[in-house]
Amino acid sequence: MITWNNLDTISAYQELQKVAKVNLKEAMMGEAGAERVGKYSVPMAAGLAYNYAAKQVDDRVLEALAKLAEETGLAEKYEALYNGEVINTGEKRRVLHHMTRGQLGEAVVADGVDKRSFYVNEQKKIAELANKVHSGEITNAAGEKFTTVVQIGIGGSDLGPRAMYLALENWAKANNTFKMEARFISNVDPDDAAAVLAGIDVAHSIFVLVSKSGTTLETLTNESFVKDALKNAGLDASKHMIAVTSETSPLAKSDDYLAAFFMDDYIGGRFSSTSGVGGAVLSLAFGPDVFARFLEGAAEEDRLAKNRDMYANPAMLDALIGVYERNVLGYQNTAVLPYSQALSRFPAHLQQLDMESNGKSVNRFGEPVDYVTGPVIFGEPGTNGQHSFYQLLHQGTDIIPLQFVGFKNNQMGRDVVIQDSTSQQKLCANVAAQIVAFACGKADDNRNKNFQGGRPSSIIVGEQLTPEALGALLSHFENKVMFQGFVWNINSFDQEGVQLGKVLAKKVLAHDTDGALKAYSELLNI
C-alpha cells in the first residue's frame, strides 16, 4: 500500500537537512577529484553513463538521499504507475507513456482494451504507411513520391518530435537511413506556417496533423493555412494529410485524411515522443526500423528505473540529487548543456517536460505545499553557450546546477585536424574543462578574474548519439521528472496552468472582454 505525503513531513528529509554540506571545490581538487570521477558514476542504457562526481554530494548525503527514496516509496510508486493505477489525480487518468516502448509489469486493460497491444498495433499501422510512402505505393496525385513530411502540432506535439528529429537527422544521413526531410509548424503566428510552406515543395509533401482532441485551436488554424496552400496549388488536401488523434475525435474517421493513427488520454503531450505523435514523423523521416531502435533504448532505460537500489538507478539518483539542490541547497534553476549540435532543441523539450510537469504549488490533493518544487530549466548547446550565458554560470551571484551531455564520437564521421587535435577532441576538451572550472574555480587577485568555483554539475556521457542512446536519454529525463514529482507529492501529469490563457484567448476573439483584457485587445487591434 503506497502512501502520499508532503516532503516536509518525511523524516528522511529532516535528516537530509542536517547533513553537513560538501565543499565541492575541495572535494574536486587533485587526486581526490580523480577518485570521485571514477566512483560517482552509474551505467545507463545504450552505453551511456551518468557521472555525478562534480555534484555537491558525498557518501553521507547519498546515504540520506537513499533513505528519502525508501521513505517516499519511489520504486513502489513507479511500479503502481506502470501497472496502470490512476496516478494523474487531477484528470483521474492512468499514466502509460512507458507502455509505448514496452511492458514493465502487469497487463493494463483500460476502456476494454489491452493498452500495450493497442500501442503496438498503432506503431505497426504507422510502419506500414511509412513503408508504402517510401516504396512509392502511396504517392501524390501525379504518382510521384513524397519527399518531405511536415508535422503540424503545438507544445508536446512539436517540441519532443522536433528535438528527436534534429537529434537523428545527421546520424540517419551518415547511416543511409534518411528517407524524407521533416519540417514542423507549431506557432499560430502565420509567419511560421508561411515560412515552412515557402521552403518546401507542397506537391511532394505529406502533412501530419497532431491533435488528441481534434479541436486544438492553434493546430486547426495551421491546418487551414496548409489546406489553403494545397488548394491554391491545385492539389487535393485529403491526398496529402494524415492525422494523429484520439479514436473519439472528429478527425478519427474523416475523409480529409489518408489515414488516422490513434493515441489516448493516458499519454500526455510532453511524454508523447514515443507514441504515434513522434512515431509518425520519425518513421516517415528515418524509417520504422530507426524508430524501433529509439524505442528500444527508451525501454532499456525504463527497466533500469525499476531498480530499488538508488545507486544503480540513474534517473532516481539524478532526481534525488536535484531535490537536494532545490530544497536543501536552495538552487532555483538548472541549465541543460548538450555538447552536441544534434541536441540543439533538446533543452527546449526538457524545458516543457520539467516545467509543465513539476511547476506546481499544490500537492496531489489540491492542497498548498510549503516548499519549493520544480526549477527553471534552460539551455543551449556547447560550445556556443560558453560564449554567451556561461559568464553568469561561472561568476554570477546565483549558483545554477549544470547538466552536461557529451559524446566521444560525432555522428557524421567527418572531422579535421587543426593544431594537433580534431574538432571532436576540442569539443570534448571543452566539456572536461568546463566541469572542472565550474567546480574548482581559479583564484586571482584581480576580482574580475577570480572564479569562486563550487558550481555543481553532472554529465551524461556516451560513445555516440544513436537512436538507442537518444531513447535512453529521453527516458532518463522523463523518469527523473516523474521521481521528483513523487518526492514533492505533486501531480506531474496534468497542466492546468496552460488552460487559462486558452480560455481567455477565446473570449478575446469573441470580443467578450472588459477591463484590462479589453484594453490589451484594443492595443493589439483585435
- 130-143 pLDDT, tens digit per residue, is 999 999 999 998 99
pLDDT at 103: 97
- What cell does 334 get? 538548472
Cα–Cα distance between 516 and 219 in angstroms, integer?
Answer: 27
Q: What integer best gives the mean pLDDT of the chain?
A: 96
pLDDT at 139: 96
Summarize the confidence of residues 191-211 as an average pLDDT. Answer: 97
Catalytic residues: 356, 387, 502
The residue among 125, 102, 91, 122 whose CA lies nearest residue 268 is 91
Kind of pairing between the strands at 376-379 and 41-43:
unpaired
Reply yes or no on whether the pLDDT at 503 is more than 90: no
Tell me: the pLDDT tens digits for 88-102? 999 999 999 999 999
What does the DSSP assignment read for 232-259?
HTT--GGGSEEEEEETTSTTTT-TTSS-
Domain boundaries, the chain: 7-96+295-493, 110-288, 495-526
Residue 118, SS3 per DSSP: helix
Summarize the confidence of residues 419-428 as an average pLDDT. Answer: 94
Fold classification of 7-96+295-493 (topology level)? Rossmann fold (3.40.50)
Estimate the share of the chain in helix, then strand, then coil, as percent rounded to the nearest 5. Answer: 50, 15, 35
Tell me: the pLDDT tens digits for 225-237? 999 999 999 999 9
Fold classification of 110-288 (topology level)? Rossmann fold (3.40.50)
DSSP H or E segment with residue 149: strand 148-152
Q: Which residues contact 119 (CB under 8 A, 6 or more apart)?
A: 99, 100, 275
Buried-exposed string 178-191: b where 16+ CB fall within 10 A, e elsewhere: bbbbbbbbbebeee
Cell 557524421, residue?
412
Q: Cis (ω within 30 of 0) for the bond into 221?
A: no
Residue 173, SS3 per DSSP: helix
pLDDT at 216: 83
Share of the chain above pLDDT 70, in %: 100
The residue among 465, 190, 31, 506 whose CA lies nearest residue 517 is 506
pLDDT at 217: 83
Summarize the confidence of residues 470-481 as an average pLDDT. Answer: 98
Judge contact between 409 and 464, C-beta under 8 A: yes
pLDDT at 506: 87
Reply yes or no on whether the pLDDT at 64 is more than 80: yes
Strand ranges inside 441-506, DSSP E = 457-462
Judge contact between 396 and 454, C-beta under 8 A: no
pTM of the model: 0.97
Judge contact between 103 and 110, C-beta under 8 A: no
pLDDT at 500: 82
The residue among 88, 57, 172 whose CA lies nearest residue 482 is 88
- What cell does 167 get? 537529434
pLDDT at 440: 97
Cα-based angle 443, 377, 191 (whole degrees, multiple of 5): 125
Label residue 498 by pLDDT band (50, 70, 90): confident
Cα–Cα distance between 311 and 308 in angstroms, integer?
Answer: 9
pLDDT at 218: 87
- One fold for 7-96+295-493 and 110-288: yes
Cα-based angle 480, 484, 489 (whole degrees, multiple of 5): 150
Share of the chain above pLDDT 90, in %: 94
Cα–Cα distance between 377 and 477 in angstroms, integer?
Answer: 12
Reply yes or no on whether the pLDDT at 465 is more than 90: yes
Higher pLDDT, 501 or 340: 340
Tell me: the pLDDT tens digits for 369-421? 999 999 999 999 999 999 999 999 999 999 999 999 999 999 999 999 999 99
